[in-house]
A and B are shown apart, each in its own frame.
Chain A
Amino acid sequence: MAAIVNRVTALVPKVALPVARYGQSKLSRFWYFARVELRPPMPSEFGEVQKGVQKIVKSASTGAWRQLTVKQFALNGLVGLEVMFWFYIGECIGRGSIIGYRPGRSEGIPAPYKYFM
């Protein structure tokens, strides 16, 4: 046990820099895409948001959604599902646990596990 701990503590300073650089490169690539694709809508874009909603409502009311190709319909469905999933991610963050509400049970369990069990 002591040998393992010693080996880990000897390995950490050697490994830390490459791990940090790897993480940095991945993060910077993610940020390069996210700052365009995931940015929240600016007030100047609210008009387009309203137009998009009206387009959806009109397509639903006139039945134009039946004229879509199957591929386009499936893609739209996937995008809609992804947008729905953000609600559940927000719910997980708001209630403070990944799986289920835990109003009274998390007092006896130490820190990383109480957000899962």
Chain B
Amino acid sequence: MATAVPRNVSPLIRAGRWGLLVTGLAYGYSHNKTLKKREERVRQGEIDRVTQHAIHELADQKIRADQSMVDLAQAAGVDPNGAKKSEDAKKSGSSSKHH
């Protein structure tokens, strides 16, 4: 192939090649931008959903912790609402009930 000579490709084919190259470039870029926008919205929605879920999880955890404290107080025979009063009484030196 060392004696091969470049041939004159017809202008129509060359115009088609370059025109389609530029068109494809523009189309790829614009479609990618559209998809990026859509993906950004979806991602924001996902972040919001995960945040809400985390908040609800923390709230449930706190509720369960408080509930278990109440259960513990009832099991110990201490009135949970009066626990503060009996704590003050304990601090001032009187003995607690379950000893």
Q: Are A94 and B25 CB-contacts (below 8 A) given A87-B20, A104-B43?
A: yes
Q: Which residue of chain A has the shortest Cβ distance to B6 in the bound complex?
A: A36
Is B36 touching A104 in the complex (CB atoms < 8 A)? Answer: yes
Is A87 touching B21 in the complex (CB atoms < 8 A)? Answer: yes
- Bound state CA distance, A42 and B11, in angstroms? 9
Q: Separation in Å of the B12 CB from the closest CB of chain A?
A: 3
What per-residue 1/0 map shows which CB atoms of A75-114 lie under 8 Å from chain B?
0000100111011111111111000010110000000000
Is B32 touching A41 in the complex (CB atoms < 8 A)? Answer: no
Binding site for A on B (CB under 8 A): 4, 6-18, 20-32, 35-36, 38-40, 42-43
CB contacts (< 8 Å) of A39 on chain B: these are 14
Is A94 touching B11 in the complex (CB atoms < 8 A)? Answer: no
Which of B10, B25, B38, B43 is in CB contact (< 8 Å) with A90? B25
Q: Separation in Å of the B37 CB from the closest CB of chain A?
A: 8
Q: Are A53 and B32 CB-contacts (below 8 A) given A88-B24, A90-B22, A104-B43?
A: no
- Bound state CA distance, A35 and B40, in angstroms? 43
Q: Separation in Å of the B33 CB from the closest CB of chain A?
A: 9
**A49 contacts the other chain (CB 8 A):** yes
What per-residue 1/0 map shows which CB atoms of A48-91 lie under 8 Å from chain B?
11001100000000000000000000000001001110111111
Q: Separation in Å of the A49 CB from the closest CB of chain B?
A: 5
- Bound state CA distance, A89 and B23, in angstroms? 10
